A and B are shown apart, each in its own frame.
Chain A
């Protein structure tokens, strides 16, 4: 009996055990790796396996810790890196705004459609998200190329005479981003618009408000959280996007995810890639914290 109680104090209870199982999995494979990235961003590139030096070294009984700051110095002084950060932010921001402008009316009219149609309409929005991301980006290559389907069509219509240059330019990247991330914008917008109480709009109309005014004074403010959630769902991954600029962008399309990929796979400079990653995380810290805030709020609202 005594032993039991003693053991009970030391062994985790059932509740703690249940929490610990997913917690430790995520802690080991998601959280710890970030600490390692920070550490390795302070080491130096070398030939061999692994291709970076150790931070600590014991020599003649003395522990030496060498922090190499050169990667960060380089990141902050090099014009190309600075331009890449700004360009990533700009492209992600413009893509997010376009997604919002296109996604809002779609989400709005799905939410106002017949109740029996809504779930089918939403399934049709989500279906492209289930099919391959890579395939959906690739599908645009055939459309955007100089001798591609869009240019053929526009020339046939007589609207243009010389083909538009879209493939391998920033325009291609914007189109690819909006196309790929649109479902992520529509989902939260729809979720907020569909649960809105329409009696509020009726009241506004009864009091003489014009439809536009009612929209800006009632519908839009009520869908604010949906707008924020959708924008974050698009903006954060878009900043670090690699596949879209690589397939649709040009050699001059500067995006931070691409630069990191090149440092890692082409230059085999892992410490530099780690430093670029840390800078990217720093850039995304505020949007990520905002996302976490709204997700937690959402979870609590449900109960």
Chain B
């Protein structure tokens, strides 16, 4: 086997990860800075964290963002799972190209384009149908869900393609209906992909600024909108504290779920091996 040059490899990876993580580390360090001038260190303090709790605008916006993110994660997993399953198992039906294009496009399309077009749809719908009345939580929720369905669908379709068809075929031979097979065999087997898709949708929704700016109305200001309106004026120590809290919770969540899923996978592999050994004996 060919081994890459050890020194070169560690240098490249070291510099690469330094570039990815140094800005975040500095942001976290300076959130504990006492001075209002963010880049001049004057002493350790947690006063910016205390200030966060008294900031009513921020707390209200955070609560709205969390509610929208929970709704988005759930809706995107329901629709995205069906979409991913269709992509993986239904072959080429009529309008397949349009269907897969509508799944792929939101992954790369600039958000300003999606934002303005969805807003115009909601404005027209309100004019002709009277629904949705105004803009707020509902319109933001629909917007975020449309965006996240694509991510969930891609995750689910690649997981479904890895599945062993034999399991579903065995169930079919035993007389299970397609609906029963989907809910009691396929769905449990792809549960990891559903968890990953839900988490990704949750964080994408919690973080989204551009789409939200188009789809929100008066009284529905989300957390990223508040953060953006403050940081566009320059540095703000309170935002460093908020960012630190955000990064910490996301890191703990993602790493925790990742470790859990990996252990789960090892356990399943072991059980499968044991079952095989028993069957062979």
Residues of A within 8 A of B (CB): 14-15, 18-19, 21-23, 25-34, 36-37, 40, 50, 102, 105-106, 108-110, 112-113, 119, 121, 123-125, 127-128, 130-136, 138-143, 145, 147-149, 152, 179, 182-183, 198, 201-202, 205, 232-233, 236-237, 239-243, 246-247, 257, 260-261, 264-265, 270, 273-274, 277, 280-281, 284, 288, 291-292, 295-296, 299, 302-303
Chain A residues near B235 (CB-CB < 8 A): 141-142, 145
Q: Which residue of A lies closest to B249 (CB)?
A: A131
Most buried by A among B30, B83, B113, B240: B113
Could you tell me if A112 and B4 are in contact, using CB atoms closer than 8 angstroms?
yes
Given A179-B19, A264-B214, A295-B104, 10 more pairs with CB closer than 8 A? A26-B103, A124-B17, A133-B207, A133-B209, A138-B27, A139-B24, A139-B243, A182-B19, A183-B20, A242-B110
Q: Which residue of A lies closest to B143 (CB)?
A: A29
Could you tell me if A33 and B120 are in contact, using CB atoms closer than 8 angstroms?
yes
B101 at the interface (CB under 8 A from A): yes
Nearest CB in chain B: distance from A149 CB, A: 6
B234 at the interface (CB under 8 A from A): yes
Known contacts A142-B235, A246-B232: A109-B4 contact under CB 8 Å: yes
Known contacts A109-B13, A128-B20: A31-B121 contact under CB 8 Å: no
Could you tell me if A37 and B116 are in contact, using CB atoms closer than 8 angstroms?
yes
Known contacts A25-B79, A141-B231: A277-B23 contact under CB 8 Å: no
Chain B residues near A21 (CB-CB < 8 A): 79, 82
How far apart sit A21 and B80, CA to CA, in the bound complex (Å)?
10
Could you tell me if B108 and A233 are in contact, using CB atoms closer than 8 angstroms?
yes
Known contacts A30-B106, A110-B13: A296-B116 contact under CB 8 Å: no
How far apart sit A110 and B4, CA to CA, in the bound complex (Å)?
11
B153 at the interface (CB under 8 A from A): yes
Nearest CB in chain B: distance from A34 CB, A: 5
B46 at the interface (CB under 8 A from A): no
Nearest CB in chain B: distance from A108 CB, A: 8
Chain B residues near A23 (CB-CB < 8 A): 95, 99, 102
